[in-house]
Amino acid sequence: MAVYTDVSDEALAQFLTLYDIGTLVSCKGIAEGVENSNYLLGTDQGNFILTLYEKRVDTDDLPFFLGLMDHLAAKDLACPVPIHDRSGKALNTLEGRPAAIISFLNGMWAKNPHTEQCIMVGAALAEFHDKGEDFTIRRANALNQPAWKPLFAQSATRADEVQIGLRSAIETELDYLAANWPQNLPGGVIHADLFPDNVFFLGGTFSGMIDFYFACNDMLAYDLAICLNAWCFEKDNAFNITKGRALIEGYQSVRPLSADELAALPVLARGAAMRFFLTRLHDWIRVPPGALVVPKNPLEYVKKLRFHQQVETASAYGIDL
Amino acid sequence: MAVYTDVSDEALAQFLTLYDIGTLVSCKGIAEGVENSNYLLGTDQGNFILTLYEKRVDTDDLPFFLGLMDHLAAKDLACPVPIHDRSGKALNTLEGRPAAIISFLNGMWAKNPHTEQCIMVGAALAEFHDKGEDFTIRRANALNQPAWKPLFAQSATRADEVQIGLRSAIETELDYLAANWPQNLPGGVIHADLFPDNVFFLGGTFSGMIDFYFACNDMLAYDLAICLNAWCFEKDNAFNITKGRALIEGYQSVRPLSADELAALPVLARGAAMRFFLTRLHDWIRVPPGALVVPKNPLEYVKKLRFHQQVETASAYGIDL
> Mean pLDDT for chain B?
94
**Per-residue pLDDT for B55 more than 70?**
yes
- Specify the amino acid at residue A61: D
CB pair distance less than 8 Å for A6 and B30 = no
Residues of B in Cβ contact (< 8 Å) with A288: 289-292
Q: Are A207 and A105 in contact (CB under 8 A)?
A: yes
Comparing CB atoms, the residue among B29, B42, B289 nearest residue A31 is: B29
- By the 10 Å C-beta count (0-12 exposed, 13-18 middle, 19+ buried), B46 is classed as exposed
Q: Does A228 lie in the same domain as A161?
A: yes
Query: Is residue B4 in some structural domain?
Result: no
Helix (H, G, I), strand (E, B) or coil at A89: coil
How many other C-beta atoms are found inside a 10 Å radius of the C-beta of residue A197? 15
Query: Is residue B44 in some structural domain?
Result: yes
Comparing CB atoms, the residue among B42, B106, B290 nearest residue A288 is: B290
Q: Cα distance from B292 to chain A (closest Cα, Å)? A: 6
Q: Does B91 lie in the same domain as B219?
A: no
B100-125 confidence digits (pLDDT tens): 999 999 999 998 899 999 999 999 99
Comparing CB atoms, the residue among B6, B9, B108 nearest residue A26 is: B108
Query: Is residue A140 in some structural domain?
Result: yes
CB pairs under 8 A between A and B: 95
Q: Cα distance from B294 to chain A (closest Cα, Å)? A: 10
Q: Does A59 lie in the same domain as A129?
A: no
CB pair distance less than 8 Å for B108 and A291 = no
DSSP state of B140: B
Q: How many residues appear in chain A?
A: 321
Q: Which of A28, A38, A50 to probe the B interface (max B CBs under 10 A)?
A: A28
CB pair distance less than 8 Å for A290 and B291 = yes
DSSP state of A256: P
* pLDDT at res. B56: 79
Q: Which of A30, A41, A200 to probe the B interface (max B CBs under 10 A)?
A: A30
CB pair distance less than 8 Å for B25 and A291 = no
> Which CATH number goes with the domain that contains B38?
3.30.200.20
Q: Does B113 lie in the same domain as B229?
A: yes
Comparing CB atoms, the residue among A24, A29, A290 nearest residue B32 is: A29
Category of B188 on φ-ψ map: left (φ > 0), alpha (ψ -120 to 50) or beta: left
> Number of folded domains in chain B?
2
Q: Does A95 lie in the same domain as A34?
A: yes
* pLDDT at res. B9: 82
CB pair distance less than 8 Å for B2 and A31 = yes
CB pair distance less than 8 Å for A31 and B28 = yes
Q: Which of B44, B94, B95, B111 to probe the A interface (max A CBs under 10 A)?
A: B111
Q: Are A304 and A233 in contact (CB under 8 A)?
A: yes
Q: Are B201 and B114 in contact (CB under 8 A)?
A: no
Q: Are A35 and A56 in contact (CB under 8 A)?
A: yes
Last residue of a domain, one of A104, A131, A162: A104
Q: Cα distance from A113 to chain B (closest Cα, Å)? A: 10
d(CA A196, CA A112): 9
> Which CATH number goes with the domain that contains B121?
3.90.1200.10
Q: Does A283 lie in the same domain as A184?
A: yes
CB pair distance less than 8 Å for B107 and A3 = no
Complex prediction ipTM = 0.81
Residues of B in Cβ contact (< 8 Å) with A52: none
Query: Is residue A238 in some structural domain?
Result: yes
Among all residues of chain A, which has the CA nearest to that of B295? A292
Query: Is residue A4 in some structural domain?
Result: no
Last residue of a domain, one of B104, B122, B155: B104
Q: Which residue, among B198, B202, B226, has the nearest Cα to B213 in the 3D structure?
A: B198
CB pair distance less than 8 Å for A29 and B31 = yes
Contacts of B280 (CB under 8 A, 6+ apart): B295, B296, B297, B298, B300, B301
CB pair distance less than 8 Å for B1 and A6 = no
Domain that includes residue B74, residue range: 9-104
* pLDDT at res. A294: 67
- By the 10 Å C-beta count (0-12 exposed, 13-18 middle, 19+ buried), B291 is classed as middle
Query: Is residue A271 in some structural domain?
Result: yes
Residues of A in Cβ contact (< 8 Å) with B107: 25-26
DSSP alpha helix (H) spans, A41-158: 62-74, 115-131, 145-153
Report the DSSP beta bridge partners of residue A105.
none
CB pair distance less than 8 Å for A112 and B3 = no
Residues of A in Cβ contact (< 8 Å) with B29: 1, 30-32
CB pair distance less than 8 Å for B29 and A30 = yes
Q: Does B270 lie in the same domain as B147?
A: yes
CB pair distance less than 8 Å for B31 and A26 = no
Residue B61 pLDDT grade (very low, low, confident, very high; cuts 50, 70, 90): very high
Instruction: Considering only the C-alpha atoms of chain B, give the largest distance between any 2 of them, rounded to a whole number of Å.
Output: 61
In tens digits, what is the pLDDT along chain A, a chain of 321 residues?
Answer: 356 678 888 899 999 999 999 999 999 988 776 678 899 999 999 999 999 998 878 899 999 999 999 999 999 999 999 999 999 999 999 999 999 999 999 999 998 899 999 999 999 999 999 999 999 999 999 999 999 999 999 999 999 999 999 999 999 999 999 999 999 999 999 999 999 999 999 988 999 999 999 999 999 999 999 999 999 999 999 999 999 999 999 999 999 999 999 999 999 999 999 999 999 999 898 876 655 566 788 999 999 999 999 999 999 999 988
How many other C-beta atoms are found inside a 10 Å radius of the C-beta of residue B273? 26
Comparing CB atoms, the residue among B26, B107, B292 nearest residue A293 is: B292
Comparing CB atoms, the residue among A31, A110, A289 nearest residue B289 is: A289
How many other C-beta atoms are found inside a 10 Å radius of the C-beta of residue B150? 9
Q: Does A89 lie in the same domain as A124?
A: no
Q: Does B299 lie in the same domain as B155?
A: yes
d(CA A114, CA A242): 10
CB pair distance less than 8 Å for A30 and B25 = no
CB pair distance less than 8 Å for A23 and B203 = yes
CB pair distance less than 8 Å for B111 and A8 = yes
Query: Is residue A3 in some structural domain?
Result: no
B266-288 confidence digits (pLDDT tens): 999 999 999 999 999 998 988 76
Q: Does A198 lie in the same domain as A78?
A: no
- By the 10 Å C-beta count (0-12 exposed, 13-18 middle, 19+ buried), B26 is classed as buried
Residues of A in Cβ contact (< 8 Å) with B24: 108
Q: Cα distance from B241 to chain A (closest Cα, Å)? A: 23
Residue B1 pLDDT grade (very low, low, confident, very high; cuts 50, 70, 90): very low
Interface of chain B toward chain A, CB-CB under 8 angstroms? 1-3, 6, 8-10, 23-32, 40, 42, 47, 104, 106-108, 110-112, 202-203, 288-293
Q: Does B84 lie in the same domain as B222?
A: no
Query: Is residue A2 in some structural domain?
Result: no
Q: Mapped to the 3 state alphabet, what secondary structure does A257-268 carry?
A: CCHHHHHHHHHH
CA A184 to mean position of chain CA atoms: 23
Last residue of a domain, one of A104, A123, A148: A104
Please tell me which of A201-205, B1-5, B220-224 the model is most confident about, judged by mean pLDDT. Answer: B220-224
DSSP state of A297: P
d(CA A98, CA A18): 14
Q: Which residue, among A77, A116, A85, A109, has the nearest Cα to A245 in the 3D structure?
A: A116
Among all residues of chain A, which has the CA nearest to that of B292? A291
Q: Does B16 lie in the same domain as B120?
A: no
Q: Are B261 and B222 in contact (CB under 8 A)?
A: no
d(CA B217, CA A63): 56
